[in-house]
Amino acid sequence: MSIPPLPEGEPSPTLADPHELLEGYLDHYRRTLFRKAAALPEEELRAAPLPSGWTPLELIRHLQYVEQRWLNWGFAAEQVPDPWGDRTDDGSDRWQVPAGMSTRQVLDAYAAQCDRSRRVTSAAKLDQRASVGGRFPTEEEAPTLAWILFHLLQEYARHVGQLDVVVELAGGGTGE
């Protein structure tokens, strides 16, 4: 039995190094997110077609902050000005894009965060625990890089799937 064709950009099925595999799939989801966003016109990027009320731009900004929370503030214990900046302050815990922030600014900030995330993960080992002093106050609470990357992958799988539904509702294609 042969391996079916893989979606464009997915890591090779012969890749065996867990670190390369995790980073490869994370980059695959990041590229897929950009491709899905590019399939939507500006008005659809800012529209909320689902009952939960989020927009594709809010989802992209949320994933920017997810990466920042887990990798920069979390794993590297960097001090970040507002780790929950993707959320509204009204207590509703909704994602938000600040008024006046352009689509290009959202996409550029997301891309810059992905670059920062790659710098954090490329130099670390999977069994390394997160540094204390950022998101994690004690060593007991600090997860390994492997755990964080798996967590990010499940977050991306869910959110890219949600974005796929939005693209389909807008009349675009489905799948990866």
Using one digit for the tens of pLDDT, what is the confidence trace for 79-138?
Answer: 999 999 999 988 788 999 999 999 999 999 999 999 999 999 998 999 999 999 999 999
Q: Degrees (nearest 5) of the Cα angle 35, 38, 44?
A: 125
Q: pTM of this prediction?
A: 0.93
Give the model confidence (pLDDT) of 47-76 as tens digits: 999 999 999 999 999 999 999 999 999 999
State the amino acid at position 9 in one-letter form. G
pLDDT tens digits for range 148-165: 999 999 999 999 999 999
Q: 49: burial class by Cβ within 10 Å (0-12, 13-18, 19+)?
A: middle
Quote the crossing angle between the two packed helices 56-67 and 103-122, to the nearest 10°: 30
Give yes or no for a contact between 149 and 46, defined as CB atoms under 8 angstroms apart: no
129 DSSP β-pair partners: 144
